[in-house]
């Protein structure tokens, strides 16, 4: 009897186990589906970066880095454009007005200071230009560079030229209005006084100059225009000028004469040259000084006697206070970076106008 009961219980147990297995088989996932991962557990597989992208994938637990401004995320290299994605149009306005400083003298070299607008015309790139404004420029701030040849060739009268330069700077620089700097050069340019309105500081800078070495005049002029005047802050219109004391004999420069003149044109600098040649006759170096001054709208002085150096500085001082400024609109102007010539013609044939020979148009 007991054995029958045990067999019956065994049969029921087997039947129940079979029913349970059938239920479990119906709820289990298909064999081809990946098993679910637990919370916070990274998947076992790693994603492959797109071709050309060598940066590692971001950590699954960290947010992906945002795309740079104006750049779509990596997974949306070519997203569909919507109406809200239209780019903002940037309008570039090129100012096509040229401003030029010039000087007018009569047949005897005397400055004419009472000219009117209708007494001259402007020719830009060989075409008449429209004059926008004209005025006498006696009060514009000055930015002046004093470049002094400190090579062996000028040793004979170096001390006298230093004192004449100091006298000039004391007379021309107005505190809190004008600024100047001092550069001595032989094989290399040396700034002995940076931009300042202190005449005392400028005087000390001139006295610090020591004669000796070769002559790299073109390098010094190039440096003064590019690294000093061109980079000097200019919040209002100014007049930029360089006074260059040298014998004009260059034997060490890396740039050429014309490259130095070109940089002066880009910086809109007038160069006045004072020769230190004491031979009594113009030499090869003097012709170089003439070329630099003429190309930039300045003047070349040849003081063969000591006292004439001071007179040259006085003439430069007078000219800087006797200039005109004209602003005009060129005809057929193009912002192409090209060099354009300038000619200012006085109606009176007895007048001589001196200005820079041209300028570089801006590039758009």
* Residue 334 and residue 284 share a domain: no
Q: Which residues are CB-contacts of 13 (< 8 A; sequence separation ≥ 6)?
A: none
In a domain, 16, yes or no: no
* Residue 364 and residue 282 share a domain: no
In a domain, 334, yes or no: yes
> Which pLDDT does position 24 carry in this prediction?
44
> Which pLDDT does position 4 carry in this prediction?
59
> Which pLDDT does position 65 carry in this prediction?
38
Lowest mean pLDDT among 62-76, 125-139, 183-197: 62-76
In a domain, 298, yes or no: yes
86-124 pLDDT per residue, tens: 444 444 444 578 999 999 999 998 999 889 999 999 999
* Residue 108 and residue 214 share a domain: no
> Which pLDDT does position 12 carry in this prediction?
55
In a domain, 15, yes or no: no
User: How open is the CA angle 157-162-164, to the nearest 5 degrees?
Assistant: 95
In a domain, 293, yes or no: yes
> Which pLDDT does position 21 carry in this prediction?
52
Whether the full predicted model's pTM is greater than 0.75, yes or no, is no
* Residue 309 and residue 175 share a domain: yes
* Residue 231 and residue 263 share a domain: yes
In a domain, 58, yes or no: no
Residue 246 sits in a domain of what CATH number?
Answer: 3.40.50.410
* Residue 229 and residue 101 share a domain: no
Residue 31 has pLDDT above 80, yes or no: no
* Residue 302 and residue 165 share a domain: yes
In a domain, 73, yes or no: no
* Residue 280 and residue 167 share a domain: yes
* Residue 308 and residue 211 share a domain: yes
* Residue 224 and residue 104 share a domain: no
* Residue 311 and residue 212 share a domain: yes
Residue 10 phi/psi, 5-degree rounding, is -65, -40
263-288 pLDDT per residue, tens: 999 999 999 999 988 788 889 999 99
Tally the domains of the chain.
Answer: 2
Closest CA to 105 of 353, 355, 357, 295: 353
| Owning domain of residue 114 | 94-138+324-364
With contact defined as beta carbons under 8 Å apart, do 197 and 159 qualify? no
In a domain, 210, yes or no: yes
* Residue 199 and residue 134 share a domain: no
Residue 315 phi/psi, 5-degree rounding, is -65, -40
């Amino acid at each position: 009897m007991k054995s029958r009961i045990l067999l019956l219980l065994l049969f029921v147990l087997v039947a129940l186990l079979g029913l349970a297995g059938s239920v479990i088989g119906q709820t289990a996932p298909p064999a081809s589906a990946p098993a679910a991962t637990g919370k916070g557990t990274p998947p076992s597989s790693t994603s492959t970066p797109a071709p050309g992208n060598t940066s590692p994938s971001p950590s699954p637990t960290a947010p992906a880095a945002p795309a740079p401004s104006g750049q779509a995320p990596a997974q949306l290299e070519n997203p569909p454009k919507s109406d809200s994605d239209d780019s903002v149009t940037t309008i570039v306005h090129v100012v096509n007005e040229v401003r030029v400083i010039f000087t007018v003298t009569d047949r005897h070299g005397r400055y004419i200071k009472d000219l009117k607008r209708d007494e001259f015309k402007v020719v830009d790139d060989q075409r008449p230009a429209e004059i926008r404004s004209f005025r006498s420029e006696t009060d514009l701030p000055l930015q002046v560079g004093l470049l002094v040849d400190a090579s062996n060739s000028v040793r004979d009268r170096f001390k006298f030229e230093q004192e004449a330069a100091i006298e000039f700077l004391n007379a021309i620089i107005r505190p809190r209005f004008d600024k100047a700097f001092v550069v001595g050069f032989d094989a290399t340019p040396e700034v002995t006084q940076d931009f300042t309105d202190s005449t005392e500081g400028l005087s000390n800078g001139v006295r610090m100059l020591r004669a000796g070495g070769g002559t790299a005049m073109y390098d010094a002029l190039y440096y003064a225009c590019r690294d000093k005047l061109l980079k000097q802050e200019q919040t209002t219109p100014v007049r930029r000028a360089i006074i260059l004391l040298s014998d004009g004999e260059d034997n060490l420069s890396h740039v050429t004469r014309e490259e130095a003149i070109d940089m002066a044109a880009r910086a809109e600098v007038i160069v006045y040259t004072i020769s230190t040649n004491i031979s009594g006759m113009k030499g090869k170096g003097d012709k170089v000084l003439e070329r630099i001054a003429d190309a930039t709208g300045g003047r070349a002085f040849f003081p063969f006697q000591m006292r004439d150096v001071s007179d040259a500085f006085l003439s430069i001082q007078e000219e800087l206070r006797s200039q005109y400024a004209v602003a005009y609109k060129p005809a057929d102007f193009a912002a192409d970076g090209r060099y354009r010539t300038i000619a200012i013609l006085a109606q009176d044939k007895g007048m001589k106008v001196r200005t820079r020979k041209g300028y570089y148009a801006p590039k758009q």
